Amino acid sequence: MLFVSSFLIYSYNLEGQPWHGDEIVYLGQAGEYVHLIKKGDFGDPCLRSIDNCNYLFRIPAYGLTYSPLRNVLIGFPMDVKSEDIWKFYNWSCYWQCYISDAGPSVKEIASGRLLSPLFGSLTIAISFLIGKTLFNRNIGIIAALFFLFYDLWLWYSRTIMTEVHYIFFAMLSFLLLLYAFNTGHLKIKYFISSAIAFGLALTSKILSVEFSVLFLAIILFGWFSKRRSGSDVGKARIQKIGLSILLFFTIASFSLFLTEPGFYENPLNQIALMKKDMDNYNHDVWFIGYPTIHGIQIDRLLTVFHYMVFPSFTEHKIPGAYPNSIINLGWYNPSTYSSIPLTIFFFIGFGYLIYRISKFKDFPSETLVLIWFISILIFSLAIARDFSLERYLLPFAISIIFIASYGFWNFIKDIPYHKTKITFAIYVMFAHSMTSLLYWQKIYFSPDMTWTNPLHFGTLQESLDNQFTFVINVINVIFIVFILVIRFRKRIIHIVTFRSGDIK
């Protein structure tokens, strides 16, 4: 049901989705790639790497981002739905030398989007299974629903972008790795499948490296939580842990490089070229780069939370992404990609995580989620230079969704009245979904509209500016206070009775 409902929401009228310039670039690369495959010209340099391709415009920063996997997933659906176009070079140079009259039609763009709703919907189903495996079925359902109506995911699940591919493969790897250690005994088939999926995530977008610390933690927790045996202690266990970590990341690396033909001939030279390209590109653009401690700063940390959790309540300035640039922060800048329910329950969930972990008892799932959140946050600060490209913060946003789901379930699970609990849960999801679905006309019926980052639709600020969603959010907050009274009424009555006795 989660998958089907997600697919219907994400796939409806793809021709009505506003378009982004990057979609045209990806469409041009994918179209040329599939065209060469159909010709059977497998020796063509363009099938190995964009570095030596004369048919496409090359920006010196692609490196690993020229993903054959992505090109196949975008190019073949377009090839099935459209005729041979022969305008791929023009499309691939959208940001440099694009001729608008020779651009793709709405139908051609929509055909390149055909598989995005599928991957988006599968990710929703996977998020349910991850929540169920880590905690319980209810948290899984809550996480899936929060994720389903999350504004950024709703958007990228309808577009020709790499986000829907690499997030899908990364979350699939996450789930398979949990299954590998779920029974107390390592299941090698899930373990290897997880490593392969992680490699495919890296192939889709190298930003998937942000999940590596989480996967390392799962392997460590999996081994330390295994049932001990006489031959599985001390050095033997340490050796097994070391070998499993080495095996996982080695398989993932092979999965990455085997799907990148440009690395076959001289992998070391290709890696050096990629670094050179990124150095040159980031010197001018500085959107994203390889990890560096330069970005780990307090003001940037707060800015990440302004984008993902809560707006800036005061107007102030911080250094910008570009050299000698300044960013003016305020209520509307940056846009906050959250909702009132998601933000409230994130803080509640974070409080529950810290409280339970601080008890120093056996809470491996809570610890894993906290490691996930902290490691992704550090990676986001270290890699992303300009947070206005909000898609670089998607891995961090997903960890926030799971923490909020954990907080939501812990908040309502002890409510004694079943009907009240169900009504409250439905209303919270309704309030969350309205934040993104408020702009349904822009999602489904605006094919002539272009959008650039940052995305200004479905934000927390917008949900408070609109009269309809403002009322919904006010009722939601009142409902939360009402539930708090129900939950703590016995304690309140006890305190009141105790103080009355003292007075008497």
Query: Model confidence over 78-126: pLDDT tens digits?
Result: 887 766 666 888 888 888 888 888 888 888 899 999 999 999 999 999 9
Instruction: Please give the pLDDT value at position 229.
Output: 47
Residue 150 tokens read as: 């999350």
The CA distance from 107 to 82, in Å, is 8
pTM over 0.75: yes
Residue (of 329, 307, 300, 288) closest to 397 by Cα position: 307
The CA distance from 486 to 484, in Å, is 5
pLDDT bucket at 494, cuts 50 / 70 / 90: low
pLDDT bucket at 317, cuts 50 / 70 / 90: confident
Q: Is the pLDDT of residue 215 over 80?
A: yes
pLDDT bucket at 498, cuts 50 / 70 / 90: low
SS3 355: helix
As a whole number, mean pLDDT of residues 455-466 equals 90
The CA distance from 115 to 74, in Å, is 7
Q: Is the pLDDT of residue 190 over 90?
A: yes
**Which percentage of the chain shows pLDDT scores above 90?**
46
As a whole number, mean pLDDT of residues 379-403 equals 90
Q: 311: cis peptide before it, omega within 30°?
A: no
Q: Is the pLDDT of residue 292 over 90?
A: no
Q: Residues with Cβ < 8 Å from 51, sequence gap 6 or more?
A: 58, 62, 262, 270, 273
Instruction: Please give the pLDDT value at position 146.
Output: 97
As a whole number, mean pLDDT of residues 422-435 equals 94
Q: Is the pLDDT of residue 278 over 80?
A: no
Helix extents (H) in 12-55: 21-39
Q: Is the pLDDT of residue 490 over 50?
A: yes
**For all residues of the chain together, what is the average pLDDT?**
86
As a whole number, mean pLDDT of residues 366-383 equals 93
Residue (of 197, 201, 207, 164) closest to 23 by Cα position: 164
- CA distances, 14 to each of 26, 107, 329, 496 (Å): 17, 9, 34, 59
Residue (of 406, 333, 477) closest to 146 by Cα position: 406
3-state secondary structure 220-250: HHHHHCCCCCCCCCCHHHHHHHHHHHHHHHH
| Helix-then-strand count for the chain, H and E | 22, 2
pLDDT bucket at 491, cuts 50 / 70 / 90: low
- Quote the DSSP letter at residue 261: G
Instruction: Please give the pLDDT value at position 101.
Output: 82
Domain boundaries, the chain: 18-112, 291-504
The CA distance from 14 to 18, in Å, is 9
Rg, the chain, Cα only: 24
As a whole number, mean pLDDT of residues 438-457 equals 87
DSSP string, 384-424: BS-TTSGGGGHHHHHHHHHHHHHHHHHHHTT-S-HHHHHHH
Q: Residues with Cβ < 8 Å from 272, sequence gap 6 or more?
A: none
The CA distance from 86 to 489, in Å, is 70
Q: Is the pLDDT of residue 65 over 90?
A: no
As a whole number, mean pLDDT of residues 347-354 equals 94
CB 184 within 8 A of CB 225: yes
The CA distance from 420 to 423, in Å, is 5
Query: Model confidence over 143-180: pLDDT tens digits?
Result: 999 999 999 999 999 999 889 999 999 999 999 999 99
CB 473 within 8 A of CB 427: no
| Higher per-residue confidence, 5 vs 285 | 5
Instruction: Please give the pLDDT value at position 125.
Output: 97
Q: Is the pLDDT of residue 375 over 50?
A: yes
Residue (of 144, 214, 247) closest to 396 by Cα position: 214
The CA distance from 332 to 311, in Å, is 7
Q: Is the pLDDT of residue 354 over 70?
A: yes
Instruction: Please give the pLDDT value at position 406.
Output: 96
Q: Is the pLDDT of residue 239 over 80?
A: yes
As a whole number, mean pLDDT of residues 360-383 equals 89
Q: Is the pLDDT of residue 267 over 60?
A: yes
Residue 369 CB burial class (10 angstroms; 0-12, 13-18, ≥19):
buried
